[in-house]
Amino acid sequence: MTYQNYSLKQLQQIDAAHHLHPFTDHKEMREAGSRIIAHANGPFIYDSDGTEILDGMAGLWCVNVGYGRDELADAAYAQMKELPYYNSFFKCSTPTPVLLAKKLTELAPKHVNQVFYGSSGSEANDTALRLVRHYWALEGKPEKNRIISRKSAYHGSTIAGASLGGMEQMHNQLHGAVPNIVHVMMPYAYELSLPGESDHDFGLRAAKAVEDAILEAGADKVAAFIGEPVMGAGGVKIPPMSYWPEVQRICRKYDVLLMLDEVITGYGRTGEWFAAQTFGIEPDTITTAKALTSGYQPLSALLVGDRIAATLVEKGGEFYHGYTYAGHPVACAVALKNLEIMEREGLVERVKNDTGPYFAKALQERIGGHDLVGEVRSIGLMGAIEIVRDKATKERFLPAGSTAVLVRDHAVAQGMMLRATGDTMILSPPLIWTRETIDMACDRIAKALDLAQADLHKR
Ligand SMILES: Cc1ncc(COP(=O)(O)O)c(C=O)c1O
């Protein structure tokens, strides 16, 4: 690697001159300069000046086994030498996607026995959308094609992904979303529950919004409901435990398919291999990506339940859909090794029984009481910190999101990478975090909150 021949400033200049980034205001970035992460090890990332930062976001919700895993590099190297690429079109296959499909269906809920590969979560959601509509067409009901999603959902950045998602800013730039997708309320109790309403009742009310949308369209027009088990990019919004079983009951009542987007929650994040298991539901499709390879290779897997798979196979006819890199042998070899590491080290059980509960307690006890914090919440190793001006009234600072960005910038300066989305700070660390790493993170976040509060007082 030759980046060492360049100074940070030079890299930033080249970056600004030639590299368009995702989800970035390029004018602003060119003025501020980009943050260049040059290498990483274990739970830490290092910028090109060598500054060490604790990575509270596992890259982008993906590096679950942490950085610097030689075994994953070796698996990729060995596979590249053996067979770097061959396609899985036209009745061909290669060994690693076959073995990975077997492994994934062993880990997934019992009724899930088929896998369709892509290279990203967005692609996998495209596939899921195509597949559920194709399913109903094969069943002789092509008009049953409407999808119900939720406001503030994130399902990716392709046109289908953004259309399925409920992010207003993204829709505003679509200039024509995929038709027949509607968005209902999200299960976000902190802002949407009524005075005196229990968490349980709020969960049922949020689920009722799905039923209302089905009835409004007519059940014979609705193909599926799609949701993230825990809304991630929208601000780690954790639904009440009553929500998902009720959504599933409603979907079954009206014969509407259930699509679960587990791009973030898949592979251990909530303390089970899949959040479907955490919430006790049996979705017809489960979209996964990210931690499938711990981000060491781009790979997604749409896990397909028996109901859809049976129709696809029994009715036959070509499904005109697929990607060149579907089932990429190198990515699948890395995924197999990644899952082996997770199992060997018991990372999922550790989140469930040790680090997840410890993380929840540490956030409550050490962050939750801060003047700037309205609520902390977590499930497994994903958490959120709500930034407020007034704890009692939940009033936010203006302009919206500005104080969260201030806290984020102080946190990074303290050696703690976390994300600010709106007025919510988000954490989604590698699953290798220990109690000590959680303590270190809380110390740094508490310091960042104090510094932000001091800045606000000066204003
Ligand atoms: C829930 C969810 N779905 C889909 C995606 C899109 O995945 P990708 O960026 O790999 O296309 C993301 C990305 O963060 C996500 O959080």
The CATH number for 395's domain is 3.90.1150.10
129 alpha carbon to ligand 1 midpoint, in Å?
14
Same domain, 364 and 377: yes
List Cα–Cα distances, 115 to 102, 182, 285, in angstroms.
9, 27, 10
Interstrand relation of 181-184 and 146-150 (parallel, antiparallel or unpaired): parallel
Please give the tally of structural domains in the chain.
2
72 alpha carbon to ligand 1 midpoint, in Å?
22
Residue 58 lies in a domain: yes
Residue 6 lies in a domain: no
Q: pTM above 0.85?
A: yes
> What is the per-residue pLDDT across 362-410, written as a single tens digit (0 to 9) for each?
999 999 999 999 999 999 999 999 999 999 999 999 999 999 999 999 9
Instruction: Please work out whether the CB of residue 334 comes within 6 Å of at least one atom of ligand 1.
Output: no
> What is the per-residue pLDDT across 176-233, written as a single tens digit (0 to 9) for each?
999 999 999 999 999 999 999 999 999 999 999 999 999 999 999 999 999 999 999 9
Pocket test for ligand 1, best of 117, 125, 127, 154 (most atoms within 8 A of CB): 154
**Which among 427, 285, 302, 276 is positioned nearest to 366, based on CA atoms?**
427
> What is the per-residue pLDDT across 29-39, written as a single tens digit (0 to 9) for each?
888 889 899 99
Same domain, 372 and 279: no
Distance CA 246, CA 251 (A): 9
Enclosing domain of residue 200: 71-342
Write down which residue in 342, 371, 394 finishes a domain: 342
Residue 322 lies in a domain: yes
301 alpha carbon to ligand 1 midpoint, in Å?
12
Name the DSSP letter for residue 273: S
Same domain, 361 and 407: yes
Split at pLDDT 50, 70, 90, the class of 40 is very high
Name the DSSP letter for residue 230: S
Same domain, 186 and 165: yes
The CATH number for 214's domain is 3.40.640.10
